[in-house]
Each structure stands twice: as C-alpha cells, then as structure tokens.
Structure 1
Amino acid sequence: MTERRPEPVEGSPFSSRPGAVGSPVPLHYGSPLAEQRELAAGRAVVDLSHRAVLTVSGPDRLSWLDSLTSQALARLAPGASTETLQLDPHGHVEFAARVLDDGETAWLLTDDGEGLRRWLERMRFRLRVEIAERDAEFATIGSFAGADVPAAESNGVPLVWVDPWATPSGHAYAHPAEHPAAGWTYRETLVRREDLPALTATPAAGTLALEALRIAAWRPALPAEGDERLLPHEVDWLRTAVHLSKGCYRGQETVAKVHNLGHPPRRLVFLHLDGSDALLPEHGAAVLSGDDEVGRVTSAALHYELGPIALALVKRRLDPAAPLTVAADEERVAAAQEVIVPTDAGATVTVPRIPRLGSARR
C-alpha cells in the first residue's frame, strides 16, 4: 500500500521575515556572509521546508531498503543517522536519501521525493512495506550543533538526522592533513508544519549560507553534483553512503569493479577562485586548462572566510598542479585546485600479472 500525500503547502512562513529574498524558501535575508557565520556557529537555522520527506513502514522496511540501495540498512538502530544512494544498473547515482529509523518507520529525507517514491513503488512486490509522502505534515529545518530546534517525535524518537560526513564509516578517498569536514556538525530536524510559524522568531540564514558551508566541507549533494554519469567514487561518496561489504543491490557490480580494479573516470576537486572581479561561475560552467575543457563546475558560492569557492568534476588524469581557469560571464576566472578525490583513487586490489603465453624462456 502507498499513501499519497495531501495537497502541498504553499509558501513558507520564513518567506514573510523582513529582508527575505527567494522562493520557495529564502535564499538569504539581506546579509548572506553574516548569515553563514551565524549558521556555522549554531546560532541560526535554515528553512528547508521545500524538501521532500518520505516514510517507509512495515516489518520488511529495512531489509528491503538494504537490498535496493548502497548502504547497509538492515540493522539500522532507532535514532541512528546514515545516508544511502539508489543507483542505476551501471552504478550511476539516481537518488540520494538521508535515512533515520525510529524502530517502526524509516524516514527518508531527499530532494526528489516524487521520483524516489515512484521508484520505490515499482520495487515493492509482495513485501510488507508501506510508502508515504509526509512533507505536507513535516518540514525540514537545517542547523549546526548549538541551535535549539524542537524536533517532532515518532515512536519516542526525536526526528533529527545528524550528517555522518565528519565521521565516515565507509572508504574515504580524500586524505588531507585535516579534512575540512572535521568540525562539520550539520543536522536536519523534522518539525510539524503547524509548529513552523513559531520557529520564524529564531535567527535564520538563507539557503545560500548553507550552500557555501557545504562546498567548503567538500560535501557532495544532489542535484548539484549529479548528472547522468555520476559514480559515487567520483565525489568521495563511498565515505558515508556506500557499504562495500554488504550483499548485492542494483549497481553494486560497478561500485566494486571501479573501487577494486579500476579508477573513477572523473574526480571532484575544490576550487579557490580569483575574487578580483567578483564573478561566480554558474552550475555547469567549463573548467579549462589552457584552451582545453577538463571539467565542469557543479557548485559555487562566496564563503565568508575563503572568498569565492567551487566544487568541480574534472578528468581523473588532470594534473593536480595544472593552472586552471573557469568560465564566468564570458570571462575567465583563475582557479587553484585542491585535491578531494586523488588521481589514483580506486584499484585497491592488487591483481597479479599473468605472463603472456609463450613469454617464458624454454
């Protein structure tokens, strides 16, 4: 059985706050850089009430989700947070979901609730699961440690998803001396829609502030980093969203082959952009080495400490020291890359080279 949601809620109470700019939720309230500081310090919240909330209930829910997606979910403890990916048969990322279970119901927070719901419906067969869209009842609020956001509860469990990005449980490709996510305390709290107006008295930041902080933490997200070819290896998503030792699921063969025997064809890089002309590239802007296109920008923002920054997917073999430029407003902006996924990522299994027939001396 699948429960369809009621008619969507129009608008957000946060949009009526003074200075609010943007729709369906505020992009900023007039001071994006100051909002970043407040959000990162846990003194502000960000309205994400436009995002989708799905629930999967029933005794087969966790084993079923485990069999369909990239993360090990069969034994997910009540209140624990994780994330998972739904892949196509060739291992390309189609959907991403932030997952929280309350002991009776799995809560999936996602940016494409309609698409993910439809796919889950097609995969139900005779299993004891019920799928429902719940974003007409519950709204998502983003924050960092320190912010006081009263959470809705289900089965006695506060509905707070804590991002595992700072403490990876999977295989991380990025190995800087200090990962920028070391202090990443981001979480998403579900509140009932009727309680949302009361939260508008809380200091708030717009979604532009959250986006800048996400980019600075090298944190991949959909739809920003996604395209029809995206492999989780390319954006270091094996770090938190892929379990390499669990049973089979769609796309698992490609995940294993690329990680064990091959290399991802592209790799995510962090770009420090020249801020002289105050230009930010758009999503999909070309990354150039000389006159050769070597990649595309996936996300860009103005950070309150780092200045203009971006994430980009580039060719794996691109020299990490190569000088780069990025197309922006018919201009070229100089960019310095910082390695996230290294050029030698993958090929973790050493396969002995078998001598060619006849090559040995007789």
Structure 2
Amino acid sequence: MKRIVFLDYVRVFACFLVIVVHASENFYGAPGSTDMAGPQSYLSNEADRLWVAIYDGFSRMAVPLFMIVSAYLLVPMKDEETMWQFYRRRFTRILPPFIIFMVLYSTLPLLWGQLDGETSTKDLSRILLNFPTLAGHLWFMYPLISLYLFIPIISPWIKKATAKEERFFIGLFALSTCMPYLNRWFGEVWGQCFWNEYHMLWYFSGYLGYLVLAHYIRVHLTWNRSKRLSIGTILMVVGAALTIYSFYVQAIPGETHSTPVIEIGWAFCTINCVILTAGTFLMFSCIERPNSPWLITEMSKLSYGIYLMHIFWLGLWVGVFKYTLELPTVAAIPCIAVTTFICCFITTKIISYIPGSKWIIG
C-alpha cells in the first residue's frame, strides 16, 4: 500500500512530542526524580512554570494525533475483511512488542537499582492486568487496543453515515470534552452522581470522537489546501494558547499541587486539546509531497519502537542535562527530548536489522 506522506510527518511529530511531554514532567514532579509526574506536582520557580506550561502544554496533542493517524488509515474496515482478520492483523503487530517491553520494564531496571525485586515480581505478575510501575507511558496502549476492538463495530455505520450525521456525532463529542470543566465549575451534571458515572454523553465521549473526526476529515472535508492551512493554523494557535494557559494559571511555584487538578486542560479529551489537535492535523494535511524524505519515512516506520523504549533513554539524559550540566529549563527540556529521540531512533534502527525484529519493535 502506498504511503500517505503527510501521515509520516504527523507520526514522527507526535512521537517526538510524547518525549517532550515526558521530558517536561521531570520539571514538575518530585524533586530529584527522573520518572514521569506523579499524583502531586511541585514547580521550583517561575522559569519552570513558564517553560513546562509551554513545552508540555503544546505537546499534549501527541496522543490524539496518534489516534487520528490510526483511524485515518483503518476506518472503516475493508469490505472483504472479517472482524477476526482485522483483529489478527492489528494485534499481531502491536501486542508482541507491547508484552516484550512490559517484561523489560519489569526487569531491566533491576540492573541499575531503579527497581527492587519485590516490585519487579509484582509487576511481572500483573502484566495481564496493567502496565509496570516504571512504564506509565504504556497506558496509551489500552485505549488504542480499545479503539481497535471497536473499529469493526463502528465500521458498518461509518460507511453509510452522511457528512451531516458525522458532524452531529462530532458535535456531541466536542460537547462531551467540556465535561471536565463543567464538573469543576458546576459539580455533577447530566445524570452523574456517586452511583452513576455514565452521563448523558458518555457514549459520544473519549477517543472514539477522534476516530470519527479522522474519517470525516478524510472523506467529507472538501476544503482546499489554502483553507485547511489558514483554519488549521488558527485552531492550532487558539488550542495551544488555551492548553498552555490552563496549566500556567494554576501552577504556582513553591506550592504542592494535585496533578489532575493543574493538568485539567491537558487531558486529551478536553475541548482545547481537540481544537489544538484538529488544527495541527489540518495543517499537516497540506503537505503534498509525492514522497517523504528517507529519514522521515524511517522514523515513521520505527515510531512504535521509539515510543516503547524512550523511557529507558529519557532518565539518562535528564540526569545529564538537568543535574550534571544544570541547563536552564528553556534549554534542558528540548535537549533531553532531542537526544532521547535520536538515541531511540538509532537503537530501533539497529534492532530492525535483527531477523524477526518486528516482534520486538513492531
């Protein structure tokens, strides 16, 4: 199948942004930690507050972009393909590397003392239940698997749906992404209560909305390149500004914060993040090159492996740039992200020469 050039760029961009997010989290997590942010957050100074808000806030489109790319390529399911064929094709690609890296994250850190034997044993025993202690980034795999499970279910509807019907769905999805703010300002709404979390828009919420949005853009959106670029740029700028501000206005330095509270605008299914993601995707869709440069194509092909392993490299470069060289935050975060990305790309490229490497890095 011929590669869709702009999707290669989106995939590489999103993969890099994931690393930027996790690099940034080292500047508002527990002091001295090289892990991702925990339940509580602490910013040491105004510089951390500003640059974490900018770098991390802008990068929060990473996960939704991955969801949109997958949906753009896979939805609807092919007419000649059965549900079970679809599942076999998708899951044989993503599950073996996923399981291998869960084992690696549960064992390898024993070698450098980041993990003790008790935690390692517990993580290994829970592999079928959840991601390991030191692999919080693998949470993403579960909603991705959920979308894959649902694609054969929604495909018959989406094949027949008109543009107006899909816009109706997307509109309800957009309204559902306002729920975090409605809950903060007004408490429980639309049927929510302590015995019922399934509010009125529950079945239109979550990453499924990005799936329908991707199909709508691919099939029904008829804007020319100029209109996509101009509207996409406006949406990206507005979405980025709102997402960045939502953190900055709350993250007062010198105070301990609840991470879910100050990250309310960084949740991937909030209206500002949807605007940011949709605008950026529209901008990338304006790329009309016949082929990607070799480097972009290779990075795109290896992006799954880069994502899976990047936490192994991230801690090393956090130690170098934040603690050894003591770079200012404005420089440290991009340096950590770039060097981590390069190391992961080189590592996955080397692994790709090993026979059967697809079972390791996808």
Give TM class, smaller chain: under 0.3
Q: TM-score, normalised by structure 2?
A: 0.24
Structure with greater proportional strand content: 1
Q: Which one scores higher on RCO, CA 8 angstroms, separation ≥ 6?
A: 2
| Greater C-alpha Rg | 1
Q: TM-score, normalised by structure 1?
A: 0.24
